[in-house]
Amino acid sequence: MAQSKKVALITGANRGIGFETAKQLGEQGVTVVLGSRKLSDAEAAAAKLKSAGTHAYGIQLDVTKAADRTAAYKFIEEHFGKLDILVNNAGIAAGDFFTNTTSKTTEDELKSVYETNFFSVVGLTQQLLPLIKKSDAGRIVNLSSILGSLALHADPKSPIAGSKLFSYNSSKAALNAFTIHLADELRNTPIKVNSVHPGWVKTEMGTDAAPMEIPDGAKTSVAAALLGPDGPSGHFIHLGQELPW
């Protein structure tokens, strides 16, 4: 059944930046669908938000599974008839961010990281695009990373020069290419597609060494999800600042 209230799907929403993004969007009056690999995790996360007054739903969505992506499409179509916001948040890293072992990176590691961070994002976004086109202000937010910046990696003096984890970094560079290409294809529509860098955030991936707390780490995703009609598309953003590709 179609409805006018904004509806968002957030992947990897059971913990970390994804859960916090769902929480903050819910606080802004958005109906949130929380995707998680395990249905029980999705339902538990949605229940926490529901108890705080948010319209929240939990669905099983392992982004690497085509059947889960199709089920997500059907769930959103049947419940809402449209999708206003897609936050492609789920992501993985394999290996050590601070030891450059590019020459030894295995094909298995590359395939596994790309499966989650790149191919699944492309697949899910393509599948949901017909529902996003039914929104009057569709927003697609791709959780990239400053570590996906080729321009910064090419500069030995840049602050990220010492963080050359090839599988993760290149998967985010590929994701950035998807952002640029899809934003261009959709340039004459109301849909905005952006890559965001949340910052280095204290999550399981970011570790306790990270300087940013999770509520601040979700701010860039939330801002990109709620961009107004004059907001950017095809950009790479961190807390309102442009990052170099």
Ligand X SMILES: NC(=O)c1ccc[n+]([C@@H]2O[C@H](COP(=O)([O-])OP(=O)(O)OC[C@H]3O[C@@H](n4cnc5c(N)ncnc54)[C@H](OP(=O)(O)O)[C@@H]3O)[C@@H](O)[C@H]2O)c1
127 CB-near residues (< 8 Å, 6+ apart): 69, 70, 72, 73
Examine the residue annotation and report whether 57 is marked as an active-site residue of this protein.
no
Q: Which of 23, 57, 168, 192 is catalytic?
A: 168
Considering the complex, state which of residue 189 and residue 207 has its C-beta at the smaller distance from ligand X: 207
Footprint on this chain of ligand X (rule: CB under 6 A): 11-12, 14-18, 36-37, 61-64, 89-92, 116, 143, 145, 197-198, 200-201, 203-206, 210
Q: Return d(Cα 196, Cα 244) in angstroms, integer.
A: 12
Considering the complex, state which of residue 37 and residue 48 has its C-beta at the smaller distance from ligand X: 37
Assign 3-class secondary structure to 171-233.
HHHHHHHHHHHHHHHCCCCCCEEEEECCCCECCCCCCCCCCECHHHHCHHHHHHHCCCCCCCC
Considering the complex, state which of residue 15 and residue 134 has its C-beta at the smaller distance from ligand X: 15
Q: Which of 6, 23, 172, 202 is catalytic?
A: 172
Structure tokens at 210: 């990270």
Examine the residue annotation and report whether 48 is marked as an active-site residue of this protein.
no
For the bound state, the minimum distance from the C-beta of residue 8 to ligand X, rounded and expressed in Å, comes to 15
For the bound state, the minimum distance from the C-beta of residue 208 to ligand X, rounded and expressed in Å, comes to 11
Q: Are 206 and 137 in contact (CB under 8 A)?
A: no
For the bound state, the minimum distance from the C-beta of residue 52 to ligand X, rounded and expressed in Å, comes to 19
Give the active site residues.
Answer: 168, 172
